[in-house]
Amino acid sequence: MPIWLEAAIRSVSILIGLFVITRILGKKQLSKLSFFEYIVGITVGDIAGTMSTDLDINLQEGITSILIWSLFPVLISYISLHNKKFRDFVEGNSTVFIKNGKVLEENLKREKYTIDELMEQLRKKDVFRVADVEFAVLEPNGDLNVLLKREKQPLAVGDVFPNPPSEKEPQTVVMDGKILDEPLATMGLNRGWLKTELDKQGIAIENVFLAQVDSYGQLTVDLYDDKLNVQQPQDKQLLLAAMKKVQADFELFALETQSEEAKQMYEKNAKKLNDLLQKITPLLKN
Amino acid sequence: MTVASQVKQSLASLKSMHASFQQFALTSTDEKAQRAFHEAMLLTEEVIADVKERVSQLEREEPQYHGK
């Protein structure tokens, strides 16, 4: 067997093997590498690289060492999944740097963090005044996480509307011009509905690149033809406007009418609609 | 515009609102929203009944507006 062929076979089979191993190690490895996992990754890669080029190395030895290097982290993550103490030992503990708005100098010293570095990390989180911080903690993977004081926290929807309407995830019903039946069924809709909605907006299905349905059943589309202007769904705004108009009309009628009975009827219904407006407005605003 | 036709216009708006509420009640996926829209729909029905009553009164009082 020529040398190049052997190298090629080795490389391809090692590539496949590495692919399988990375699948086993899972997604977690990608997002947050601990120092240990980092070293493991580099070493496995190095062994694989050497094995595929250096034909003097015995395949058995190489494969054994790769297996050990890659299966050891699997074993460790399996044990730490079931044992909190072991997990703390392997992954390390988080260290509190700021508590009740006060910097804990002892903990800084223990993690060999200078106050400059702490402030740099805080600035990365858009915090320029240490006094704004209620609580800050250094995670085992080296990230600093910050809880701002209540009055410095950004405004959330829940602060403005006590009971905001919940919004579910939108479903993509057309992708690359193909109708996806499963998400449509999830929303309790079907192809007939989709066609009606598109007809309403005057769009041919062949022209649709992407279409999504939000949790209120409103359809938004992106077309292949970018020169066409698509209207955003306005059903909610129109409904809100209609409600306001009818409510105002009733108040007007109540003032204009001569009949006492009709006046009362208009006033009662104007009030009803007003209450309804209060209740329904958060749902119709987006 | 006469009073009768103004009231009829409001009635038409109310009917359209009723349909929209019904549509949102059916297509919303969130249960709370569904219920709110459904209640709104029922309330609109009550208002529609009142206004219909008023329209027929107006038509009786002033027959020249009948059907306009």
**Proportion of chain A in helix, strand, coil states, percent, rounded to 5:** 60, 15, 30
Among A56-60, A184-188, A268-272, the minimum mean pLDDT is found in A56-60
**Proportion of chain B in helix, strand, coil states, percent, rounded to 5:** 85, 0, 15
A235 touches chain B (CB under 8 A): yes
B14 touches chain A (CB under 8 A): yes
In terms of Cα–Cα distance, which of A127, A112, A164, A122 is closest to A143?
A: A122
| Residue A163 within a domain | no
Neighbour-count burial of A213, counting CB atoms closer than 10 A to its CB (0-12 exposed, 13-18 middle, 19+ buried)? buried
- What is residue A168's predicted lDDT score, i.e. its pLDDT? 81
- Per the document, the length of chain A is 286
Give Rg (Cα) of chain B.
15
Total domains in chain A come to 4
A107 and A83 in one domain? no
Mean pLDDT across A113-134: 92
- What is residue A206's predicted lDDT score, i.e. its pLDDT? 86
| Residue A67 within a domain | yes
Distance CA A174, CA A211 (A): 5
Q: Which chain A residue is nearest to residue B41, measuring alpha carbons? A: A276
ipTM of the complex: 0.85
A276 and A206 in one domain? no
A190 and A142 in one domain? no
Q: Which of B9, B30, B54 sits opposite A262 (nearest CB)?
A: B54
A271 and A226 in one domain? no
- 8 Å CB contact of A215 and B26: no
- What is residue A27's predicted lDDT score, i.e. its pLDDT? 67
Judge whether residue A30 has pLDDT over 70.
no
pLDDT digits (tens, 9 = 90+) for A204-223: 888 899 999 888 888 888 98
Stronger pLDDT, A188 or A242, i.e. the higher one? A242
Domain of residue A201: give its range. Answer: 171-232
Stronger pLDDT, A166 or A152, i.e. the higher one? A152
- What is residue A32's predicted lDDT score, i.e. its pLDDT? 65
Averaged confidence pLDDT in chain A: 86
**Residues A42/A29, Cβ–Cβ less than 8 Å:** no
- 8 Å CB contact of A217 and B14: no
- 8 Å CB contact of B30 and A280: no
- 8 Å CB contact of B33 and A189: no
Mean pLDDT across A34-61: 82
| Residue A158 within a domain | no
A15 and A82 in one domain? yes
Contact residues, chain A, for B57 at CB < 8 Å: 259, 262
User: Which residues lie closer than 8 Å to A98 by C-beta, 6 or more apart?
Assistant: A104, A130, A133, A134, A135, A136, A146
CATH classification of the domain holding A189: 3.30.240.20
A268 and A241 in one domain? yes
B31-57 per-residue burial string, b: 16 or more CB within 10 A, e: under 16: eebeebbbebbebbeebbebbeebbeb
A91 — pLDDT class (breaks 50, 70, 90): confident
Of all residues in chain A, the percent with pLDDT exceeding 70 is: 97
- What is residue A59's predicted lDDT score, i.e. its pLDDT? 78
Nearest 10 degrees: Cα torsion A64, A65, A67, A72: 130
A227-251 per-residue burial string, b: 16 or more CB within 10 A, e: under 16: eeebeebebbeebbebbeebbebbb
- What is residue B1's predicted lDDT score, i.e. its pLDDT? 61
Q: Which two tokens stand for residue B39?
A: 């209640």
Judge whether residue A29 has pLDDT over 80.
no
A40 and A9 in one domain? yes
A199 touches chain B (CB under 8 A): no
- 8 Å CB contact of A246 and B17: yes
Instruction: Mark out the alpha helices in A103-161 (DSSP H runs).
Output: 105-110, 115-124, 157-160
- 8 Å CB contact of B36 and A279: yes
Q: Of A67, A89, A111, which residue sits at a domain end?
A: A89
Is residue A214 left, alpha or beta, with left meaning phi > 0 and alpha meaning psi from -120 to 50? beta
DSSP annotation string for A148-208: E-GGGSPP-HHHHSSSPPP-PPPEEEEETTEE-HHHHHHTT--HHHHHHHHHHHT--GGGE
Q: Of A215, A232, A249, which residue sits at a domain end?
A: A232
- 8 Å CB contact of B36 and A246: no
- The tens place of each residue's pLDDT in chain B, 68 residues long, gives 678 888 899 999 999 999 999 988 888 888 888 898 999 999 999 999 999 988 888 888 877 766 55
Domain ranges (residues) in chain B? 3-59
Judge whether residue A199 has pLDDT over 80.
yes
Pick the residue of A243, A245, A268, A271 with the most B CBs within 10 A to test the interface with B by mutation.
A243
A79 and A30 in one domain? yes
Min Cα distance B65 → chain A (Å) is 16
